[in-house]
Structure 1
Amino acid sequence: MQADEVAALVRKELPDCEIQVQNDGNHYLVVAVGDRFEGMSPVKKQQLIYGALNEQLAEGTIHALTIKAFTPAQWAAREG
């Protein structure tokens, strides 16, 4: 599965978020930035994104996944 396919699946579930996906072969990194993450725990943020990819994870199409989810303010602070 290509990174752009993973990004499309996440965008379908989280259309109000900016989504970036990187793939190094077997491992995916999903970075999501959106207002919807305001006030959410890190676990809740990850659950939203896992939910978008649940079928692919269950089938084994996606083997390893790292999720980083931020509010726009958190993202801006991170970038300095």
Structure 2
Amino acid sequence: MTLEEIQAKLEESIEGSTVTMQGDGCNCSTLVVSSVFEGMGLLARQRMVLAAVRTEIDSGELHALSIKAKTPEEVA
């Protein structure tokens, strides 16, 4: 799975998100910025991101994903 494929899947799954990816296809990190994270705790945000790629993780196609999930205000 390429970084571009992971990025597209996350952007499609998390409303109004901007996704930045780093790493290689199976071990990567992401910064997901979306207003849907407002009022959510860190764990809930990470669970939302992981849920978007759960199939790929379960299949082993995506081995590790480091997640930063922030609101637009937190990034500014």
* TM-score, length-scaled by structure 1: 0.88
State the distance in 1 between where 2:25 and 2:68 align: 19
The residue correspondences of 1:1-80 to structure 2 (distance < 5 A) are: 1-24=1-24, 26-76=26-76
Gaps of 5+ in 1: none
Gaps of 5+ in 2: none
Following TM superposition, the consecutive aligned residue runs of length 4 or more in structure 1 with deviations greater than 4 angstroms are none
Q: How large is the Cα RMSD of the aligned pairs? A: 1.1
In percent, how many aligned pairs have the same letter? Answer: 30
* TM-score, length-scaled by structure 2: 0.92
Q: Comparing 11-20 with 21-30, which one deviates more in the overlay?
A: 21-30
> Equivalent residue of 1:22, what SS?
strand
**Structure number, greater radius of gyration:** 1
